[in-house]
Structure 1
Amino acid sequence: MHQDLYNHALTLLKQLISTPSFSKEENETAGIICDFFTAQQVPFERVGNNMFAKNKYYDTAKPTLLLNSHHDTVKPNKGYTLDPFDPIEKEGKLFGLGSNDAGGCLVSLITTFLYFYNAENTKYNIVFAASAEEEISGVNGIELVLPHLGNIDFGIVGEPTKLEMAVAERGLMVIDCIAPGRAGHAARKEGENALYNALDDINWIRNYQFQKISPLLGESRLTVTVIETENKQHNVVPAQCKFVIDVRVNELYTFEEILQELKANLKSQFAPRTTRMKSTSIALDHPLVKAGINLDKGYYGSPTTSDKALMPFPTLKMGPGDSARSHTADEFIYLDEIKDGIATYIKVVEQVL
C-alpha cells in the first residue's frame, strides 16, 4: 500500500512542479490539489489559495492533529541550468522548483492523510491543510485558513529537515530604521551627516550580544542588511539615512524585550514591520516528539522560520528533503526521501492516534 501512496505522491508532485506557484500566484496549484482530492473522493474546502480536508469520521468532541505544508514557491534564481518547471527524474533525484521546498513534504503529508482518512475509533481527528504564501509569510496563507479548521490541538508542519525533528524555531522580526540629520554642503562641512549617525547605531548593533543563550537555538541576533540615503549628489550631506535590521530571536526573548533594548541604545527612529513571526517550541515530552524519538529521530532548533510561527498550538516541523537545497539552482529531492517521508509520517501518526 505504501508503494501505491508513493506513486500517487510522485505523480502529484510532478504536476505541481510543472505549474508555476509563486507566492500570491498559487491559484493553479491550489486547483491541482483540489482536483487530486476530488479524484480520491475525499471532500475538501478551499479558502483563497488554501485548501483543507478532514478525516471521514471527524468528531468535534475529539482533539485534532493538523498536517500542513505549503504549495507556493520562491521564483527561480538565475543559476538554473535546468527548466525549473520540468520535473526531471535523474540519478535517483527529482529536479524542479519546489521539489524540495516543500513539495516532497506536501505530497508525503497528503498521502499520509489519505492513509488514515478512513480510520475509525481513533483518539484524534486528522485535518490536512495545503497553505499558500508561506515563502513571504503572507496574510492570505495559513492565517487565513486556520479559523476554518475548527479547534486544533497540535500539528506537523512539513518542511525539509532530513526527517529530523525541528522542535524549536527562531522568531523573525524586520525593523525599519531612520537616522535623522541635517542637509548641508559637503565642501563647507555644513549640516549633520545622517549616514554617520546611522553608522554609530549600526556599530552598536554589530557588537551587541544578547545574554540569554538557548540550548536549542543559540543566541538571538541583530543583523543590518540594508542601508540607503535618498541623496544622489556627492557634495550634499544626507539629511536622512534608512537602514533595516533583521532580528532572529530565540525562545528566551519576546519581541517586546528586543524592542526595549533597541529603544534604550539607538538614536535612530525605528519601527517593526510585523511582530507576527514569533519564536516557537514544542516540549520534548510531547507525544509527537516522543513518537519521533521512538523512531530514532534526532531533534534540534531550526534557524529558519516557517508557518509554524503563525500557529497558536504546539507543532513539530519535520519533513523529507534538506533545507540546504531550498531556494538553490536546480533544486531537487531524492526519490527515496519521498518514500521515507511517507513511511516516517505514517509511523509517527500511528503512535499518537
Structure 2
Amino acid sequence: MNHSIVEKEKQLILNEIEEQKWDLIMFLQQLVSVPSDNPPGNCKAIAEFTKNKLEQLGFRDSKLYEVPGADANRIGMEYAANVVAYEEFNSLDGPEITLNSHGDVVPPGSGWTVDPYGGEVKDNSLFGRGAAVSKSDIASFTYAVLALRKVSDKLRGKLSLAFTFDEETGGELGPKWLLEHQLIQPDLAICPGFSHSIINAHNGCLHLEVKIKGKLAHAAEPFHGIDALEAMTDVLQALYTYRRVLAHKKSAIEGIESPTMVIGLISGGINTNVVPDKCTIRIDRRLIPEEDPKLVEDEIRNLIELNVQSHNGIEVEISNVLLAKSFGPVEKNSSLIQSFVNNAKLLYNEELPVHGSPLYTDARHFYEADIPVILFGAGPKTLLEANGHRANEHVKIEDLVRATKIVALSLYDLLKK
C-alpha cells in the first residue's frame, strides 16, 4: 500500500484497526467458543454473549430482540433472537447501512484435528466451527464500525449491526423479521462473503416434498396392493431426464452457470415382504436469477403428476417446503460496489472481481425489500478453501484483518459528508 496517497482520515481508520487487531482476533475466538449449532437451533447463549459484548464496546443502543417461541418452533428452532446495535453520526440526513452476519452454525461433525469450539490460532489461521461461516464477519463488521469512531465528525448517517442466528434454517426470523418489524431500515446492506471478491447476485432454491400413496399388501399376493415405490420409480426417471435438460439453460451472470436439481432424500415401505404403500422424496432445485420460481414449481408439479397417471389407485401430494428467492444482479457501477472495488485497489493494488454465486444466503431478504446488497467479508476465494461446513473450518488472520480494513474504508466513503 502506498501510504502517501491515503487521505488522513483513512489512515486514522487503518491505524485504529491495526491497534485493535488482537482484540478483533480475541472477539472471534470468543464467538467460536460459544456453541450455536443449528440444529438444534438454540441461540440464546450466543445472542446474549453478542449483545453484552457490543455493550462493552460502547454500542449504547445494543438490543436483543426475542422472536416468539411458536415462530421459532415452526422452523425447527428451540429459541430464536436477533441482536441489533446502532452507530449514529453527527448528521442523520445520510443513509442507513446495515451490516448483517449470522452466528448460528451447522453442527461440527467428525474429522476435526482441533477443538471445533476452541478458536485455536495456528499457521496464521483461526480454527473452529463458524470461524469462516460466518462468525468472522460478526467480528470484522463490528471492528470496522468501531474504527470509524476515529473520524465520526466527518460522517453522516447511521450504521446498524444486525447479527442474526437462523441463517442455517433460512433467515426468515433473522433479517426478514428485522426488516418487517422496521428494527433496521437500511438504504444499503452488506452481508457475509469473502475478502477476495464481491458477490452481487446468487441463486435461489426451491425444496419440494413429494409423497406417493398406494396400498399395502402381502408380498406373496402383491396383486392386492398398489405399489407406491413402482410409481415413484417412474417419477424419478422423469425427474432425472428433466435434470439433464437443465444444463442447457445458462445464466448471463458471471459466476452462475445453470440451474441444478438434486433428489436428496428418499424413504418408503415398512418391510421387505410388504408391498410399499408410501414413498417420499425431497427435491432441491436451484434457481438461476433469470428464472421465475412459480413457473419452475409448476413445471415440476406437472411433470410428476403426468408420470403417475398410468398408475391406477395412486395418490400424489406435493408440498413446497422452502423457497429462497435468488437475488441480483446489483449494478457493478453502483456506489456500493465501487467503494469496495476502489478501496481494495487502494490498499492491496488488487482488482476485486464482481460476480454471482450458486449459493443462496440471507442477502436475498434485503434485495426483496428493494435494498441494494452485496456479499463481502472475511475469508479466502472459495468456501472450500475455508473448509466451510466441514472439519477444520478456519479463517486466515490476514483475511480477517484485510476484510475489516476494506469494509471500514468503504463505509467511510459511503457515509462521508
How far apart in 1 are the matches of 2:126 and 2:227? 53
**With structure 2 as the length reference, what TM-score do the two structures score?**
0.78
**Root mean square deviation of aligned Cα:** 2.0
Q: Is structure 2 residue 345 aligned with structure 1 residue 309? A: no
| Contact in 1 for aligned 2:90/2:152 (Cα 8 Å) | no
* Unpaired stretches in structure 1, ≥5 consecutive residues: none
1:101-180 aligned within 5 A: 101-117=133-149, 119-120=152-153, 122=155, 124-146=157-179, 147-159=181-193, 161-180=194-213
Query: Partner of 2:133: helix, strand, or coil?
Result: helix
Paired AA for residue 375 in structure 2: K
**Aligned twin of 2:9:** none
Q: Is structure 2 residue 48 aligned with structure 1 residue 47? A: no
1:1-353 aligned within 5 A: 1-23=16-38, 24-43=41-60, 44-48=62-66, 49-57=81-89, 61-117=93-149, 119-120=152-153, 122=155, 124-146=157-179, 147-159=181-193, 161-190=194-223, 191-208=225-242, 209-210=245-246, 212-216=249-253, 217-229=256-268, 231-267=269-305, 268-275=316-323, 277-281=324-328, 282-294=330-342, 295=345, 296-311=351-366, 312=369, 313-322=371-380, 323-324=383-384, 325-353=387-415
C-alpha displacement of 1:315: 1.1
Query: Partner of 1:100: helix, strand, or coil?
Result: coil
Paired AA for residue 250 in structure 2: I
How far apart in 2 are the matches of 1:25 and 1:333? 24
C-alpha displacement of 1:121: 5.3
Query: Partner of 1:74: helix, strand, or coil?
Result: coil
Spell out, residue by residue over 1:145-174, the C-alpha distance to the aligned partner (whole angstroms, 9 max, x if none).
232434212211023x24311111111221
How far apart in 2 are the matches of 1:31 and 1:4? 27
| Contact in 2 for aligned 1:171/1:279 (Cα 8 Å) | yes
Query: Partner of 2:291: helix, strand, or coil?
Result: coil
Paired AA for residue 172 in structure 1: C
How far apart in 1 are the matches of 2:49 and 2:98? 21
CA separation of 1:59 and 1:270: change in aligned 2, threshold 3 A: farther
C-alpha displacement of 1:351: 2.9
| Contact in 1 for aligned 2:377/2:403 (Cα 8 Å) | yes
| Contact in 1 for aligned 2:213/2:279 (Cα 8 Å) | yes
| Contact in 2 for aligned 1:132/1:142 (Cα 8 Å) | no
How far apart in 1 are the matches of 2:227 and 2:135? 49
Paired AA for residue 321 in structure 1: G
Paired AA for residue 235 in structure 1: N
How far apart in 2 are the matches of 1:139 and 1:344? 29
CA separation of 1:15 and 1:257: change in aligned 2, threshold 3 A: same
How far apart in 2 are the matches of 1:78 and 1:331? 12
Paired AA for residue 318 in structure 1: F
C-alpha displacement of 1:176: 0.6
| Contact in 1 for aligned 2:89/2:156 (Cα 8 Å) | no
Spell out, residue by residue over 1:242-296, the C-alpha distance to the aligned partner (whole angstroms, 9 max, x if none).
1010111111112211111112211243111132x11011222222222233331
C-alpha displacement of 1:310: 2.2
| Contact in 2 for aligned 1:62/1:125 (Cα 8 Å) | yes
C-alpha displacement of 1:298: 0.5
Paired AA for residue 233 in structure 2: L
How far apart in 1 are the matches of 2:220 and 2:88? 77
Equivalenced residues, count: 350
CA separation of 1:292 and 1:41: change in aligned 2, threshold 3 A: closer
Spell out, residue by residue over 1:98-141, the C-alpha distance to the aligned partner (whole angstroms, 9 max, x if none).
11111222211111122225624535422111111112225432
Query: Partner of 2:163: helix, strand, or coil?
Result: strand
**With structure 1 as the length reference, what TM-score do the two structures score?**
0.92
